[in-house]
Structure 1
Amino acid sequence: MVVEKYNLDEMFKGWFIGNFEPSLYKTNEVEVGVKKYKKGEFENPHFHKIATEFTVIVNGIVEMNGIQYGENEIIKIVPGVTTNFKALTDVITVVVKLPGANNDKYEQD
């Protein structure tokens, strides 16, 4: 058997497991991604009605809802909790969403 090789830059915004294209393992059970942000990039406030999201800060510093998180910290966001995201430095995160519910991202004003 040959080991397969892929490149994260070819994935959909860093997501490589889940129900989207391309995906190395297409499933609705989970989503997994390695997300890269440049200093100053942000995501508007949003929440999930179904999924719980786990974000690991691999390196860098982020701010979510006015709280700073850094390297090796893990943030668990349960359904219904609104959060935003801002990269205070260049950042790499690993994000796991359970389940990988399609269309489960709701923007807040």
Structure 2
Amino acid sequence: MAGNLSKNRIEYNAIRKTDELNDELVAEHREDLSFVWDAVKSLPVKYREVVLLFYHEGYSTKQIAEILHKNEATVRSDLHRGRAKLKKLLKAEYDFEESIR
């Protein structure tokens, strides 16, 4: 399992590079999504942590459940609610209409 996680992390880092000091995406040929991460940071902690672990870190809901010591169904529920709050926030703040998945 540790080997697979390490391999996944290497592949993930090759695709998406981050500037850890600024916490912004700096991958080449990608749209600037810093406004999305700013919106994610404004979410309540229980939603923010699952959204970050799922989208930013690339963990599955099963892995997130293990990390946070929660039921996998609870993680999926928090992720669903976090996406809904994020969508509402982005639509209100940035007039963002696209579907967030």
Q: TM-score range by the shorter chain?
A: under 0.3
**TM-score, with structure 1 as normaliser:** 0.26
* TM-score w.r.t. length of structure 2: 0.27
Q: Highest relative contact order (Cα 8 Å, sep 6+), 1 or 2? A: 1
Name the one with the larger strand percent: 1
Which structure shows the higher helix fraction? Answer: 2
